């Protein structure tokens, strides 16, 4: 049961940070659902990888999860191409 707490914290921190990233750059947002989903994935990956580098504990792990959760959907939103509509 104790192993689920850090995972849930990473998911929530990443999802919230992903949604916040979409609010910061609304023109490059992927939408709240995609921002939250990609933020959660980034949060788990970042919390697992960077959390061990920054040190043990919930605070470094959640901070790294939030950072990765912010960067993943925001970075993909910046790389995504927008459809250009031309009028004759």
Confidence tier at 41 by pLDDT (50, 70, 90) = very high
Between 48 and 70, residue with greater pLDDT: 70
The structural domain count of the chain equals 1
On whether residue 37 sits in a domain, the answer given is yes
Q: Is residue 60 part of a domain?
A: yes
pLDDT, one tens digit per residue, over 13-22 is 999 999 999 9
Whether 6 is covered by a domain: the verdict is no
69 lies in some domain: yes
Cβ(54)–Cβ(79) under 8 Å? no
Residues spanned by the domain of 47? 12-78
Closest CA to 45 of 20, 19, 71, 23: 71
| Residue 85: pLDDT band with limits 50, 70, 90 | low
Tell me which residue has tokens 């910046």. Answer: 78
In a domain, 45, yes or no: yes
Percent of the chain predicted with pLDDT > 70: 88
pLDDT of res. 51:
72
- Judge contact between 45 and 18, C-beta under 8 A: no
């Amino acid at each position: 049961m104790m192993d689920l707490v850090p995972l849930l914290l990473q998911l929530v921190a990443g999802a919230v940070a992903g949604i916040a990233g979409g609010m910061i750059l609304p023109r490059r947002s992927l939408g709240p659902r995609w921002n939250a989903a990609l933020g959660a994935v980034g949060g788990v990956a970042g919390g697992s990888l960077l959390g061990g580098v920054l040190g043990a504990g919930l605070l470094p792990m959640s901070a790294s999860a939030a950072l990765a959760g912010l960067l993943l959907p925001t970075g993909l939103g910046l790389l995504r191409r927008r459809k250009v509509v031309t009028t004759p």
